[in-house]
Amino acid sequence: MEIWISIRSRLGDDRLFFPRADLPTPALIVDAAALERNIARMAEYAAARGIALRPHAKTHKSGEIARRQIAAGAVGICCAKLSEAEALADEGVGDIHLTSPVVTAEAIARLSRLNARISLSVVVDNPDNAVALAAVEGLRVFIDVDPGTHRTGVASAAAAVALARAIAAAGTLRLGGVQYYCGSQQHIQSFAERHAAIAGRTDYLRTVLAALAAAGVVVPVVTGGGTGSFTIDAGLGVLTELQVGSYIFLDREYRDCEFAGAPAFESALAVDTSVISANAEGMVTVDAGLKAFATDAGVAVVLGGAPVESRYAFMGDEHGALIGEGLPGLGARVTLMPPHCDPTVNLYDRYFVVAGETVVDVWPVTARGCSF
């Protein structure tokens, strides 16, 4: 792609800056200063409360961003999938926790090779899987506890104790602790309702931890939480490590959530688009559709270049409509805030890092497509 070579060469040794307005669109944009402030604010928050920070890299899939999070004080990162961890290890990230079970023989063989070169841990929710993972010499495992969604995790305190015994019996495994992620509670918009839901789920976690303690199982780390719950988790005092991800970007979903006592995170992620058709009354078409935004969480909202009241609607794979009054004309740039950051980032190969209207760097989305 000649355009990337051109941008890269203009961002080379002499650091010629590239005008954001000249980028091909749709373009995934990161506001460099807002990102740094978000990283610093979460690091300060966790440090002040004495809770470890292990940001989830499934949000950004970027070695550049992971290294910045670790430099700011994170103990390491989380990855959702083994290939994501492999890609970020290749970028020099040396401490990774895998938040999904690794089950197949093919994947366990890869896990073993990755474990030989970085500090690695992985969740387990099944005694048979513990036996299989014992082939990985010295692997650190976490008991994944199901908060009630039945996605992954053991289903009861008794199952947690049985799994702890299977882990101990496997001989070569080391128990790193317990993982507990209340995914379906993260986006409850009302803070009070979210607090009540997380507190209720944490009461259940306490019973699981008590059963493990009663069985003589030492749990060094309790890891979990997300951007929607981390202040609540910190207050409840059960989690010892936070897996927050989306705080670095603050997408439209989290922007719509009510926060209390949280740092003032800023929107640091956007998609720049161009108007490519303008023949209808009260509507223009931009060049970003459902290959440019994840479609699982509503629609993008306007950040700039068009009235913020104008409404985005998907118009197929490659197009979106802006509907409203006072819309921009053919060729105009419109900046949109993605509805859900993680799967939107996963559609792009590069972040264009901007300071205002200037592109100051290009970062690869290192682990894009690494769902395996």
Applying the rule CB under 8 A, the residues between 127 and 186 that interact with a second copy are 128-129, 146, 149-155, 159, 183
Is there binding between residue 261 and a second copy (CB under 8 A)?
A: no
Cβ proximity to a second copy: between 81 and 201 the closer is: 81
Q: Residue 360 — left, alpha, or beta (φ > 0 → left; ψ -120 to 50 → alpha)?
A: alpha
**In angstroms, what is the minimal distance from the CB of 347 to a second copy?**
6
Is there binding between residue 5 and a second copy (CB under 8 A)?
A: no
Instruction: Candidates 17, 51, 91, 101: give the one binding a second copy (CB under 8 A).
Output: 101
**In angstroms, what is the minimal distance from the CB of 73 to a second copy?**
26
147 alpha carbon, distance to own chain's centre:
19
Cβ proximity to a second copy: between 46 and 161 the closer is: 161
Angstrom distance (rounded) from CA 212 to CA 319: 53
Enumerate the H helices of 76-181 as residue ranges.
82-90, 105-115, 127-133, 157-169
* Contact criterion met (CB below 8 Å) for 137 and 172: yes
Instruction: Candidates 8, 9, 24, 94: give the one binding a second copy (CB under 8 A).
Output: 24
Q: Beta 174-180 vs 140-144: how paired, if at all?
A: parallel
Instruction: Candidates 78, 133, 212, 292: give the one binding a second copy (CB under 8 A).
Output: 292
Instruction: Candidates 217, 239, 270, 321: give the one binding a second copy (CB under 8 A).
Output: 321
Q: Which of 270, 275, 290 is CA-nearest to residue 322?
A: 275
Angstrom distance (rounded) from CA 344 to CA 188: 21
Instruction: Candidates 244, 287, 335, 366: give the one binding a second copy (CB under 8 A).
Output: 287
Helix (H, G, I), strand (E, B) or coil at 106: helix
Is there binding between residue 290 and a second copy (CB under 8 A)?
A: yes
Q: Which of residues 26-85 bind a second copy (CB under 8 A)?
A: 26-27, 58, 80-83
Of 224-232, 234-242, 248-256, 280-288, the segment contacting a second copy by CB under 8 A is 280-288
**Bridge partner list, 124:** 143
Cβ proximity to a second copy: between 40 and 315 the closer is: 315
Is there binding between residue 283 and a second copy (CB under 8 A)?
A: yes
Instruction: Candidates 347, 353, 354, 359: give the one binding a second copy (CB under 8 A).
Output: 347
Q: What is the DSSP string of 67-91?
A: HHHHHTT-S-EEESSHHHHHHHHHT
Of 43-51, 70-78, 190-198, 282-290, the segment contacting a second copy by CB under 8 A is 282-290
* Contact criterion met (CB below 8 Å) for 334 and 340: no
